[in-house]
Structures are given as structure tokens and as C-alpha cells.
Amino acid sequence: MDDIVKAALIKWPNVPHCFGWLGLDARGNWYMRDDRAQAAGPFAAATGTDPVRQAAGKGSLLKHDKLIDFIQRNYESDACGQWFFQNGPQRVYVELEATPFIWRVSTGAGADVAAHSGQPASVVQCLLDEQGRLYLETDAGFGLVHTLDMLAAADAIERGEWVPKDVLSEELPRRFGYVTSPQTLSIK
């Protein structure tokens, strides 16, 4: 966590949390979700084939590199498995389209793995769901392999570096302790 964020937490300890305004998609992109995007429905539901619904529900793609880096340096989870960005004294809880991390996989022997944030990780196990999506449990956390890196991941599997185990996608949040929609939990 950035020192400036730690200082803000000390100075303003009781700032209310923020829900629904930030999303992380299955390709590791961050989205700002204004009132209109939130009214269009849950972030994860904005992934269908209707491009108008996708754009409305996901929100605005963040493109500012320094803002994205700041979010990623201050991206953590709480004791309940809800992921958030610590924005100064305020926790901005993140709506996840898929998983807390999106893994990038390098090509070549000994496939290196890094999170969407650039954080390197070591693979603990590899999982394959009923829809053919590949997930990695790592020493840094759990996440989905980026679609553009499936060939590199397949090469690692063929070399015997990873052995996929079958899993049902609906079991993943409970099994790996993460919440895809903190906003939904905050409403209850």
C-alpha cells in the first residue's frame, strides 16, 4: 500500500466504503461505473452478446496509466474475500467479472505467470471449468488465465508443467474465498 494512502487512513479513519463504482473484467481491465452503469445491472451481467448492454453495464474503461497503476498498487482483499482499492481513506470495493486476478502467461519453457497488475506469481495448481476456462491458484492468489495467453498455457500443460483438474465454475468463489459482487452483499 502506498505511504500516502496509509497516511490518509490515519488522518481520516471513518470514511464510508464505496460499492459498485469500480469493476475488473475477465481481461484485467478496470472500469469506472457511474450511476447509469450501475442502474443497467450487475457488472458481471454486462458480458453477454448485446454490445449496448455491455457498454451500459460495464461503465467507462479506465485508460489513464498512472491511475491504473495506483489502483493496482493498492488492490487488496478484506477478511470476507471482498476485493477493494484503498483510495486514500476510502475503500472502493471492486465488482469482479470473473476472479480477483487475471493471469498473463509467458511463452517458452517454464512459463512465467504475472497478474494483470504485473505482480509475478508461482503456480500451485491449474483448474479447468465446464466451459473450458483455465484458472491458476498461485502463491499470490487465485485467478483466470487471460484469453490471449491460452496458447502459452496450453504449451505449459503439454510440457507437463501444469496438470489441470476439473472444477465447476460455481464452486470457485467459495473454494477460493472471494466475492464477485461486494455491492450485492452491501445491499443485504
Q: Are residues 113 and 135 in the same domain?
A: yes
Q: Are residues 92 and 16 in the same domain?
A: yes
Pair type for strands 120-121 and 123-128: unpaired
**C-beta separation of 128 from 164 below 8 A:** yes
Distance CA 96, CA 107 (A): 27
Q: Are residues 22 and 87 in the same domain?
A: yes
| Cα 163 off chain centre by | 23
Q: Are residues 66 and 149 in the same domain?
A: no
Distance CA 67, CA 71 (A): 6
Taking only the tens place, the pLDDT of each residue in 12-44 is 777 789 999 999 999 999 999 999 998 888 888
Q: Is 106 helix (H, G, I), strand (E, B) or coil?
A: coil
Query: How many other C-beta atoms can be found within 10 angstroms of the C-beta atom of residue 148?
Result: 10
Q: What is the mean pLDDT of residues 167-185?
A: 95
Q: Are residues 143 and 182 in the same domain?
A: no
Taking only the tens place, the pLDDT of each residue in 57-68 is 799 999 999 999
Q: Are residues 16 and 84 in the same domain?
A: yes
Q: Which domain holds residue 117?
A: 101-169
Query: How many other C-beta atoms can be found within 10 angstroms of the C-beta atom of residue 127?
Result: 23
Query: pTM for this structure?
Result: 0.88
Q: Are residues 182 and 94 in the same domain?
A: yes
| CA-closest candidate to residue 171, choices 142, 148, 145 | 142
Cα dihedral 28, 32, 33, 35 in deg (nearest 10): 180
Domain count of the fold of the chain: 2
Taking only the tens place, the pLDDT of each residue in 126-169 is 999 999 999 999 999 999 999 999 999 999 999 999 999 999 99
pLDDT of residue 14: 77
Q: Are residues 51 and 140 in the same domain?
A: no
Q: Are residues 87 and 35 in the same domain?
A: yes
Q: Are residues 76 and 148 in the same domain?
A: no
Q: What is the mean pLDDT of residues 97-105?
A: 97
**C-beta separation of 136 from 113 below 8 A:** yes
**C-beta separation of 107 from 155 below 8 A:** yes
Task: Say which DSSP state 102 is in.
Answer: E
